[in-house]
Amino acid sequence: MDSALPSLSGINGIELASMDWLSLHHRVKQKERKEFLRSLDIREGDRVLDLGCGPGFWVDLLADIVGKSGAIVGIDIDEPILNYARETVQARRVGFDIEFRNMSFESIDATIGEFDVVFFANCICYVDDPGNFLRGATERARAGGRVIGRNWDGAVFILNPIPERILARMQLALLEVFDVHQPKGKYFDHYFGRKLPGLFTRQGFREISVKTDVFERYGPADEDLTRYIENVGSWMETSVSEVWSQEDRSEWLRYFDPDDEKYICKEDDFYFCMTETAVTGYV
């Protein structure tokens, strides 16, 4: 196993939020993310708010849609990551109305104004009061506008050729960790995708649509996907350290070690599948 794998934790130890992880994650899923945004009927000239924007990867994709006649504001609490967004996305998109602000997406400053589209992806799973978060997001959407939320659901995670029994044991261990052993004051819901439709329904939007994207890759993995899978395997192993023995954890890591005969990423029968659910609510 590559001992140089970077930490996946972001500011304040937030799971799966480091700059290295967010960059890798985006590269692996960029094609599907572009297709998803194109399916939303976001229009040229729209004003869009990206909550929990991170390094601005979604902002960059949105800029291709709203164009120079539109406007995008991204907010996040991680100032170093926002600086990256300013130095890359904002600097490259000369002539576009793009702004990044250091602000909590859990308590959005009303002075930020109203938007045609309020968007958030893979951030509501860190919020201990999702209902309050969604109400705040809705308040920033103009009458007739939309709120669009998206999040992964960790229960749908297939990796072949890891034996089904071992992968199922890992899923049960992760469920126990995030349900029972989660550190106090460090909220993280690895299974939030399934909860988005109900959350939007309770908010009372006049119309709701739901779309679940399936991410699939097969055959020997390319460089980015290999790195992604190795990082995920390492993160899972670390996450279950309180409920799995060292022997079980070492056995698990063999599937992600390029020097081990059980390594999966370069096998012809390699297959990876996961899902992300998106919900659109019309104000």
- Centre a 10 Å sphere on the Cβ of residue 245 and count the other Cβ atoms it contains: 10
Under 8 Å between Cβ of 226 and 265: yes
Residue at 80: amino acid letter: P
**Mean of the per-residue pLDDT values of the chain:** 92
Nearest to 60 by CA among 16, 12, 130, 121: 121
Q: Kindly state the average pLDDT of the residues 181-196.
A: 80
Token pair for residue 51?
Answer: 């909550």
Write the pLDDT tens digit of every residue in 39-48: 998 999 999 9
Write the pLDDT tens digit of every residue in 3-20: 455 567 666 667 777 888
Distance in angstroms (rounded) separating the CA atoms of residues 136 and 117: 13
Instruction: Give the CA distances from residue 221 to residues 46, 88, 107, 229, in Å, rounded to whole numbers and listed in that order.
Output: 37, 28, 41, 9
Write the pLDDT tens digit of every residue in 18-41: 888 999 999 999 999 999 999 998
Alpha-carbon radius of gyration of the chain: 19
Q: For each of the domains in the chain, give its residue range(s) and CATH number, in order of start.
A: 11-282 (3.40.50.150)
| pLDDT of 182 higher than 80 | no
Share of the chain above pLDDT 90, in %: 83
- pTM, entire model: 0.92
Strand partners, 115: 141
What would the 3-class secondary structure string for 110-163 be?
A: HHHCCEEEEEEECCHHHCCCHHHHHHHHHHCEEEEEEEEEEEEEEEEEEEECCC
| pLDDT of 123 higher than 60 | yes
